Structure 1
Amino acid sequence: MAVENLVLQVDGLRFSYPECAVLDGLSLAWPAGLVLVRGDECSGKTTLLRLLAGELTAQAGHISLQGVRQSEAPTDYAQKVFWADPRSGNVDQLTARGWLGSLPARYPLWDAAALAAHTEGFTLQEHLDKPFYALSTGSKRKVLMAGALASGAPLTLIDEPVGGLDKPSATYLGHALAQVADQPGRVVVVAHYEALLGVPWGTVMELKA
């Protein structure tokens, strides 16, 4: 499949849990821009993100990011991906400031000015010195998304972005996504059950349960 400005390519991806098949022969070719993966509960949205992140291993198929195949060069591939599962407790003992401060060393295209803008836009200043376990669901998601958007990672994965967000933060998220829509060589994939209004999605993928 030929796509101009191709960043991410998936061929014949198959993944099943012991109790059910989730993805069967999925192929896609995404250029730089914003991608919405839309679907109901149990449609495979989070599973797809975890596969793209390398957190799950597919039973068949290949994933390539900027020409780097995940299965052949997993370390190189992983360095190009931002994924922070909002349901995970892996960072619970870290402060928001400490976690955000660890990211520039991992992401060569880190944008400190963007982080400052997202910190203000999501009104995170008062939460930066709190550990993640002390944050509300919405505040935790906002910290993770601020890091994701500032990372500059060629593949940036964001799952269910508005869970627990207040209306002003959800509005800011739309503006922030629009700002990264035209970044060259970068795909920002958002998994959600519906489109966020005002966001210039370049690609929309529908998953069926």
Structure 2
Amino acid sequence: MNPDTRRPSLHVTALSLGAGAAARLSGWSAICPAGLSLIVDEEGDLKTGLLRVLAGETAADAGTVRWNDADNRAWPPAQYKDALFWRDPRAPWPEVSPAHWAQDLAARHPRWSAADWQAHGQGLGLTEHLHKEMFRLSAGSRRKVLLAAALASGAPLTLIDEPEAALDWASIRYLRAALADEAARSAKAGRVIVVAHHEPMPGVPWAQVLRLP
């Protein structure tokens, strides 16, 4: 089933990371509707692993993740990746500029918005850095590139990890305002955005806040 033919939904059922008494997450279930969902992991050691499972990058020890009523492991890889925006912010970056990377993303994501990419780049203070190679950018600037791309991608399922890490306060304020704007747009468009952070992010109208044990 093509992910654009129905209203997207993400269902997580009885998910476990780790087995037995050593399980880091056991029997966790959630439904993420259209709009913005926040996953709060105060200890900070679960959320990235959970997002990688939601993205189909790794497998859980137990449980299922269903996207549009189909197990995410059953999607053809290219089809699932077209519906998904996810990148671990700690992963090595390609030796290209943000502008070049954005061109590749625009070719992959049919709902990519060049206007949003430019607006978020400007709002996050990236304009002068867009044509520099990624390795020349600071950790904070690379995070900003990732955030601008995630929001501009229009991907039906968008996963964002630690959005405020390494950001200056002005960028944090902009990001929260951008997420607030995106909340209404996403709910209307049927876009599921899942954000994972170590603490609540005020000022954003979350569809739900899910706390990991």
3-state SS, counterpart of residue 28 of structure 1:
strand
Aligned to 1:10: 12
Query: 29, 39, 61: which is aligned to 1:59?
Result: 61
Aligned to 1:196: 201
> After the TM superposition, which residues 97-108 of structure 1 pair with which residues of structure 2 at under 5 Å, given as runs?
97-108=99-110
1:126 aligns with 2:128: yes
- Would the alpha carbon gap of residues 110 and 18 (structure 1) be closer, same or farther in structure 2, given more than 3 Å must change? farther
* Offset of residue 79 of structure 1: 2.0
1:206 aligns with 2:211: yes
Aligned to 2:3: none
Unaligned 5+ segments in structure 1 are none
Q: For 2:98 and 2:147, how far apart are their aligned partners in 1? A: 12
> After the TM superposition, which residues 78-157 of structure 1 pair with which residues of structure 2 at under 5 Å, given as runs?
78-89=81-92, 91-157=93-159
Residue identity over aligned pairs, in percent, reads 46
- Normalising to structure 2: TM-score of the pair? 0.89
Contact 2:44 2:198 survives alignment (8 Å): no
3-state SS, counterpart of residue 107 of structure 2:
coil
Deviations 1:130-175 (A, max 9, x none): 1211111110000001000000111111111111111111011011
Q: For 2:57 and 2:201, how far apart are their aligned partners in 1? A: 26
Figure out how many residues of one structure are paired with residues of the other and give that number: 203
Q: Please identify runs of 4+ aligned residues in structure 1 that moved more than 3 A.
A: 17-20
Q: For 2:134 and 2:22, how far apart are their aligned partners in 1? A: 33
Unaligned 5+ segments in structure 2 are 1-6
Deviations 1:50-103 (A, max 9, x none): 1111111112222112233212214232321111111111x2412111111110
- Normalising to structure 1: TM-score of the pair? 0.90
- Would the alpha carbon gap of residues 19 and 144 (structure 1) be closer, same or farther in structure 2, given more than 3 Å must change? farther
